[in-house]
Structure 1
Amino acid sequence: MGDAVHAVLAVGAAQGAALLALVYPRPVAGDGLHVTVVETGTADVRFGFPVGEPWAVQAEREFARQGYVSPASVLRGDWETLPDGGRCTRLYRNS
């Protein structure tokens, strides 16, 4: 993981988010995007999944299915853009 990801993991942990969702293009060009959910405290990958368009809607559906909610979904906002071109949002347990 690059510096941009580590920086946003630290911010997420400081804000009380146990998890951070990252979205990047898949390695094969034209092959869609991939969402990876990472623990903010350890940088361990919790789970991941591929998404197509509209990727944010598909990602939020999968988060809800797994019992999580993101500020981007609740506030109907955009995912944060990272300096390296990825996007991210914090995840919280939906209880």
Structure 2
Amino acid sequence: MRQSRKIRIQSSPTFAFVVDGETEIWYLQMLKRNERQLRLNIKPEIPNKKSIQDQFELVENLAESEYSKVFWIIDLDTIIKESRETRKGKKQR
């Protein structure tokens, strides 16, 4: 009898990018265009008016799911804006 071989299927790593605006999506599209050896599928799902805390929770949830790595790209001006909008005496997120 012939022994059966176990064929190992290597799955390619999957990455998630959480961004806070359209500019960051453009960065990823340019990365895909200029680095042709990278196999990227970009599915833009821009969160509408999500706070930094909401985005952070999304990153945590994605990291626990099927993704190998999760990258969070956010503009510093968004962080500064949310910090300014926080009322005095109220805890910043």
Report which structure shows greater RCO (CA 8 Å, sep ≥6): 2
Instruction: Give 1 or 2: higher helix fraction.
Output: 2
After TM superposition, the score normalised by the length of structure 2 is 0.29
After TM superposition, the score normalised by the length of structure 1 is 0.28
